[in-house]
Amino acid sequence: MKVTPVGNTYVDWLIELTASEKKWVEGALKKALKEFPNINHDGLENWKFRGELFDLELPLTMARILYCKEFIEQCGIIKTPTLSSYQLKHDCEKWASMYITNGSMCVAAIGLGAPMRPVVMGSTNGLIAISRAGLKKFKQKMASSIA
């Protein structure tokens, strides 16, 4: 994936994706929809009746999911869901310098096979089985690369 900022806003990007990246995202979304039929950009369920669905025709949608995938891979997957998808999306935004949707984080986690469950029934947020130690290490690595 090649992402090039165009302009000076948080959402203006020129995005080039490979066929294998597109295929992975399509498979991840298919798997996520099977497990959570209401999954959308907001998360596992609709929030305030918005429920904007994923449009895989938009490269930005795919790029967000791929950034989440890479972020999760850097942190590591464990067995027990403990970290909030909403907090993880914010951590990923800092790393990617791009707006990330809660749903993108959920789709990537499911696509990677990370155990996941809603925080509470009907919640947009999920708990994802990502290593707390791996996340801490990755954040330290990010901080040292900025310094």
Beta-strand ranges (E) seen in the chain are 2-5, 13-16, 83-84, 116-118, 126-128
Distance CA 39, CA 92 (A): 19
142 pLDDT band (50/70/90 cuts)?
confident
By CB atoms closer than 10 A (0-12, 13-18, 19+), residue 115 is middle
Kindly tell me if the per-residue pLDDT of 124 is higher than 50: yes
Domain ranges of the chain: 2-146
pLDDT of residue 15: 72
Q: Read off the pLDDT of each residue in 8-34 and give the average, rounded to a whole number.
A: 79
Distance CA 1, CA 18 (A): 6
Side chain identity, residue 117? R
Q: Read off the pLDDT of each residue in 114-129 and give the average, rounded to a whole number.
A: 94
> What's the pTM value of the predicted model, to 2 decimals?
0.85
Distance CA 120, CA 57 (A): 31
Q: Give the percent of the chain with pLDDT over 90.
A: 56
Quick: pLDDT tens for 38-88: 888 888 877 665 656 676 667 788 889 999 999 999 999 999 999 999 999
